[in-house]
Amino acid sequence: MSTPASPDWASLSAGLRARDGVACQWRVAAAPVGNVRPTDFAWHEEPMPSPGEGEVLLETLYLGLAPVMRMYMQGTGAGGARKLSVGDVIHGRGVARILESRHPDWSAGEIVQGQIGWRTYATSAMTAQEKFFRVTNHDLPYALACGVLGMPGLSAHAGYFACGQPRPGDVTVVSGAAGGVGSMVVQMARIAGASKVIGIAGGPEKSRAVKELGCDEAIDYKSESVPERLAETCPGGIDYYFDNVGGETLSACLDRLAMGARIVLCGSISGYTRTTPFGITNYARLRSVEGRMSGFFVYNHVGRWDEVMTEMAGWIRAGKLKPVQDIALGFERMPEALSRLYEGKNIGVQCCRVRPEPRHQGGS
């Protein structure tokens, strides 16, 4: 079967409308091959669900989009998530308001973030597996709970600080630098006192964006040679490489490590649509520079949620961390919004606004 050159996302969402009182969902229609296509998604409508004893009824406000979702749709059970089959609602974290509660620990009116799935209304028993957190009112938009003040923010923080152990003066390279996690890590490197920050991203618009976020240099991997530009920009070698993409970029950074360098394996999006995994052949470079390459998984760091979110909110209010979000408008556009990640169209955290931002209700 041939793949259409330009998927027709407009036709997929044409005529669809999420509306109050009807529970709309996006389900897996087919396991994606390569990037996601309109035929991989199925729209489904149901009457409003009602919460059973011990459950809440959620009204979705925002949903986040993440590269791992394509793997969910392929039924891999990536990241410990329940394996999906054709016909299942797609997994996804988001922000919701509790409309009704029959759960002793949660109240109607609370704003929460957690595993909602691609749905406009959902009932939930708020199990530990779904990792729900109250969205603290930091006098900041609730949308940020899909980004800096959500799992992407915790990923950036846990990866950059806990896993990578940055040191002041580090020459730091970040790939996927204009993406959700990368746009935060670039700014954290500045906060942590990196001597130089180099962002790798695709295209001139993203190169400009990463410089505005604080990078001294931007490498456009789509039009420039990454090894040559790393040689120019890091003549003394790389002290810290935060890897969002894997593949050739990881290999090029391994070749330019300084003594005692650290590499953080956050993601490898360049490999997510490859049929044959990329083979790293130069990992032995770590030996000669006495370097370290380590990975992390964000869900192993949720125990530090409150501490990290408070720190991130403080940085936002102090103007040290600028949230960058790419917000698609309308639940109908979720599939297209997901495709943007693999096509490199998003700048910052890709998310989708399902309903207008509610008024803050005061409180903590």
In this chain, which of 174, 178, 218, 316 binds ligand NAP, going by CB under 6 A? 178
Q: Tokens representing 88?
A: 């299942």
Asked if 153 interacts with ligand NAP (CB under 6 A), we say no
Give the up-direction half-sphere exposure of residue 54: CA atoms within 13 A in the CB hemisphere.
2
Q: Tokens representing 328?
A: 């698609």
Binding mask 212-251 for ligand NAP (x = CB under 6 A): --------------------------------xx------
Asked if 150 interacts with ligand NAP (CB under 6 A), we say no
Q: Single out the segment in contact with ligand NAP by CB under 6 A; choices: 24-32, 38-46, 89-97, 178-186.
A: 178-186
Task: Report in angstroms how near the CB of residue 188 gets to ligand NAP at its nearest.
Answer: 13
Task: Report in angstroms how near the CB of residue 28 gets to ligand NAP at its nearest.
Answer: 19
Asked if 339 interacts with ligand NAP (CB under 6 A), we say no
Q: Single out the segment in contact with ligand NAP by CB under 6 A; choices: 12-20, 175-183, 186-194, 253-261.
A: 175-183
Q: Single out the segment in contact with ligand NAP by CB under 6 A; choices: 187-195, 231-239, 291-299, 328-336.
A: 291-299
In this chain, which of 206, 262, 285, 353 binds ligand NAP, going by CB under 6 A? 206
Q: Compare residues 80 and 319 and give the one whose CB is closer to ligand NAP.
A: 80
Asked if 78 interacts with ligand NAP (CB under 6 A), we say no
Nearest partner of 232 among 171, 189, 191, judged by Cα: 171
Q: Across-strand partners of 263?
A: 241, 293
In this chain, which of 127, 232, 297, 358 binds ligand NAP, going by CB under 6 A? 297
Task: Report in angstroms how near the CB of residue 23 gets to ligand NAP at its nearest.
Answer: 27
- Rounded CA gap, 162 and 211, in Å? 25
Strands (E), 53-138: 56-64, 93-101, 111-115, 121-124, 133-134
In this chain, which of 7, 32, 51, 67 binds ligand NAP, going by CB under 6 A? 67
Length of the chain: 364
In this chain, which of 341, 351, 352, 354 binds ligand NAP, going by CB under 6 A? 341
In this chain, which of 202, 214, 323, 335 binds ligand NAP, going by CB under 6 A? 202
| For helices 180-191 and 204-212, angle between their N-to-C axes, nearest 10 degrees | 30
Write b or e for each residue in 277-296: b if 16 or more Cβ atoms lie within 10 A of its Cβ, otherwise e.
eeeeeeeebbeebebebeeb
Binding mask 251-290 for ligand NAP (x = CB under 6 A): ---------------xxxxx--------------------
Nearest partner of 94 among 25, 197, 34, judged by Cα: 25
Asked if 182 interacts with ligand NAP (CB under 6 A), we say yes
Q: Compare residues 180 and 335 and give the one whose CB is closer to ligand NAP.
A: 180
In degrees and rounded to multiples of 5, residue 355 shows phi and psi of -140, 160
Q: Tokens representing 58?
A: 């959620």
- Rounded CA gap, 261 and 250, in Å? 13
Asked if 298 interacts with ligand NAP (CB under 6 A), we say yes
Non-local CB neighbours of 258 within 8 Å, separated by 6+ positions: 171, 234, 236, 237, 238, 239, 289
Task: Report in angstroms how near the CB of residue 159 gets to ligand NAP at its nearest.
Answer: 6
Asked if 155 interacts with ligand NAP (CB under 6 A), we say yes
Nearest partner of 250 among 213, 288, 224, 279, judged by Cα: 279
Asked if 114 interacts with ligand NAP (CB under 6 A), we say no
Cβ atoms of 130 and 57 within 8 Å: the answer is no
Asked if 201 interacts with ligand NAP (CB under 6 A), we say yes
Q: Using alpha carbons only, what angle is made at residue 225 by residues 288 and 221, rounded to the nearest 5 degrees? A: 105
Q: Tell me the one-letter amino acid at 184.
A: M
Q: Across-strand partners of 22?
A: 47
Which positions touch ligand NAP (CB under 6 A)? Answer: 66-68, 152, 155, 176, 178-182, 201-202, 206, 244-245, 266-270, 296-298, 341-342, 344, 346, 350
